[in-house]
């Protein structure tokens, strides 16, 4: 919901618009001095009504003012914006339709009013109408880029990835700005084709993902999943390792599948060496490997067990929950059983809590996603890779 601050800010917009109008009126024009005084009083009255939340009366007053003089245009845009931000979309639509009904509206002003009406339709959830309006405005001299941005937003929301690709291409051509998100649209199409069992189409879509780093990374993950489905575990294994080489934060997503690939190709000793190599190269990787092993319930690897042991013994909060000193000196079998119990409890805790958080808006979720459903940004979800033990010990 819009905050009180938004409401006051929009009210201030009206004051600025009124002030701008007053300067224009008194500075440049030579008109009957009684008229501006009357309209100026109307502005103040309208503003008071808005600020006192008597919105219907304010709306009627401002709509009447539009018939009086063209200089009230900006005020109307501000008012329409105010209504939309407050969720009063029908009133916003009325303001903008009223503007569009004016016969002497210039092309730029008409496009601006149509764009604002499109925003109203979006606010009302009327996506088809908004899409049509923004589609028409892609030919505008003034708001084409904004209209294409809104079209991309609509197609992302509706998951119409082909249309999103097309609109995004036009946007890039017009604005000259490059963005990696189009690679995700191709990835979305590839994943959809893979789910439908159309692996040929999935591979076709993946050809377009290599143009950006993120697209290449996500594309490699999809290729690996396809290779696994095809029974080509050696290829899947290579692809998973490429992903971890580029970005180790995918450890919890990739490690269980990578372990399976080593097992399927009868190369489990190589898996041990691979994990040892990762830890030797970067000792801090051990804790994210341990986290992934615990969450993925990977118990049949000595290298992973060593990471888990180090993780459990080294965590200060965990030390408060388990008798670490006794555990250190316990027999191998007793230690193994204790670690399994602790890992099992941590896994339950980990799977029951949010494991990923959006670096942009703070949205958190249990499973990894590429597109934040809250702020609509791509690639902003980050794994937290920690067990929320604080909530257990209070
Ligand atoms: Zn977000």
The pLDDT of residue 32 is 39
Q: What is the distance in A from the centroid of ligand 1 to the CA of 371?
A: 8
Sheet architecture: strand order including 364-365: 364-365, 356-358, 381-383
Contacts of 98 (CB under 8 A, 6+ apart): 63, 66, 76
Q: What is the distance in A from the centroid of ligand 1 to the CA of 384?
A: 14
Q: What is the distance in A from the centroid of ligand 1 to the CA of 125?
A: 21
Least confident interval from 3-17, 66-80, 317-331, 347-361 = 3-17
**Residues present in the chain in total:** 394
Question: What's the mean pLDDT when you consider all of the chain?
Answer: 84
Q: What is the distance in A from the centroid of ligand 1 to the CA of 2?
A: 18
Q: Confidence class of residue 30 from pLDDT cuts 50, 70 and 90? A: very low
Judge whether residue 58 has pLDDT over 80: no
Residue 44 lies in a domain: no
Residue 144 lies in a domain: no
Calpha distance 210→194 (Å, rounded): 18
Q: What is the distance in A from the centroid of ligand 1 to the CA of 6?
A: 21
- Chain CA centroid to CA 7, Å: 26
Residue 206 lies in a domain: yes
Average the pLDDT over 221-225 and give the result.
95
Judge whether residue 226 has pLDDT over 70: yes
237 CB-contact burial (10 Å; exposed 0-12 / middle 13-18 / buried 19+): buried
Residue 101 lies in a domain: no
Count of structural domains within the chain? 1
Residue 207 lies in a domain: yes
Q: What is the distance in A from the centroid of ligand 1 to the CA of 139?
A: 31
Tens-digit pLDDT profile for residues 33-57? 334 445 567 667 777 777 676 777 7
Domain span at residue 202 reads 180-230
Average the pLDDT over 320-336 and give the result.
79
| Residues 14 and 75: beta-carbon distance below 8 Å | yes
Q: What is the distance in A from the centroid of ligand 1 to the CA of 123?
A: 20
348 CB-contact burial (10 Å; exposed 0-12 / middle 13-18 / buried 19+): exposed
Query: Of the candidates 147, 187, 141, which has an alpha carbon nearest to the alpha carbon of residue 170?
Result: 147
Q: What is the distance in A from the centroid of ligand 1 to the CA of 232?
A: 36
Give the residue with greater pLDDT, 123 vs 385: 123
Residue 215 lies in a domain: yes
Tens-digit pLDDT profile for residues 82-102? 889 888 899 899 989 988 988
Average the pLDDT over 73-79 and give the result.
81
Tens-digit pLDDT profile for residues 258-305? 999 999 999 999 999 999 999 999 988 899 999 999 999 998 999 999
Structure tokens at 143: 């708001």
Tens-digit pLDDT profile for residues 7-22? 444 554 554 444 444 4
- DSSP bridge partners of 358: 381
Judge whether residue 125 has pLDDT over 80: yes
Q: What is the distance in A from the centroid of ligand 1 to the CA of 357?
A: 8
Q: What is the distance in A from the centroid of ligand 1 to the CA of 146?
A: 21
CA distance readout (Å), 70 to 65, 78, 383: 9, 14, 54
Residue 21 lies in a domain: no
Calpha distance 62→291 (Å, rounded): 61
Query: Of the candidates 384, 293, 378, 387, which has an alpha carbon nearest to the alpha carbon of residue 340?
Result: 293
**pTM here?**
0.77
Question: Residues with Cβ within 5 Å of ion ligand 1?
Answer: 358, 360-361, 363, 372, 374-375
Q: What is the distance in A from the centroid of ligand 1 to the CA of 108?
A: 34
- Percent of the chain with pLDDT strictly greater than 90: 52
Average the pLDDT over 141-150 and give the result.
96
- Percent of the chain with pLDDT strictly greater than 70: 85
The pLDDT of residue 166 is 95
Q: What is the distance in A from the centroid of ligand 1 to the CA of 378?
A: 8
Judge whether residue 349 has pLDDT over 90: no
Residue 132 lies in a domain: no
């Amino acid at each position: 919901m819009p905050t009180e601050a938004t409401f006051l800010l929009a009210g201030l917009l009206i004051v600025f618009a009124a002030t701008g109008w007053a300067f224009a009126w008194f500075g440049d024009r030579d008109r009957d001095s009684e008229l501006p005084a009357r309209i100026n009083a109307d502005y103040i009255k309208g503003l008071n009504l808005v600020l006192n939340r008597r919105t219907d009366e304010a709306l009627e007053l401002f709509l009447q003012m539009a018939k009086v003089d063209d200089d009230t245009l900006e005020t109307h845009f501000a008012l329409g914006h105010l209504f939309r931000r407050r969720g009063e979309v029908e009133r916003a639509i009325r303001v903008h339709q009223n503007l569009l009904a004016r016969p002497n509206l210039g092309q730029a002003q008409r496009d601006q009013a149509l764009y604002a009406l499109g925003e109203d339709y979006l606010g009302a959830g009327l996506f088809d109408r908004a899409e049509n309006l923004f589609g028409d405005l892609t030919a505008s001299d003034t708001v084409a880029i904004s209209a294409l941005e809104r079209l991309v937003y609509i197609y992302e929301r509706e998951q119409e990835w082909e249309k999103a690709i097309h609109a995004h291409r036009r946007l890039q051509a017009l604005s000259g700005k490059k963005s990696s998100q189009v690679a995700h649209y191709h990835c979305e199409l590839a994943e959809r084709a893979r789910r439908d069992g159309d692996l040929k189409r999935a591979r076709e879509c993946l050809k377009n993902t290599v143009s950006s780093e993120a697209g290449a990374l996500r594309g490699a993950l999809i290729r690996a999943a396809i290779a696994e489905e095809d029974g080509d575990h050696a290829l899947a294994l290579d692809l998973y390792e490429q992903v971890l080489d580029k970005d180790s934060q995918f450890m919890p997503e990739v490690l269980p599948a990578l372990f399976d690939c080593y097992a399927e190709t009868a190369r489990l000793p190589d898996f041990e060496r691979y994990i040892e190599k990762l830890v030797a190269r970067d000792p801090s990787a051990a804790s994210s490997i341990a986290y992934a092993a615990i969450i993925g319930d990977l118990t049949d690897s000595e290298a992973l067990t060593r990471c888990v042991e180090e993780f459990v013994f080294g965590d200060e909060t965990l030390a408060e929950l388990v008798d670490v000193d006794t555990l250190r000196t316990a027999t191998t079998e007793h230690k193994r059983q204790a670690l399994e119990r602790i890992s099992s409890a941590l896994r339950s805790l980990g799977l029951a809590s949010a494991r990923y958080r959006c670096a942009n808006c703070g949205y958190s979720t249990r499973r990894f996603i590429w597109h934040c459903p809250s702020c609509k940004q791509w690639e902003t979800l980050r794994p937290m890779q920690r067990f929320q033990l604080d909530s257990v010990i209070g």
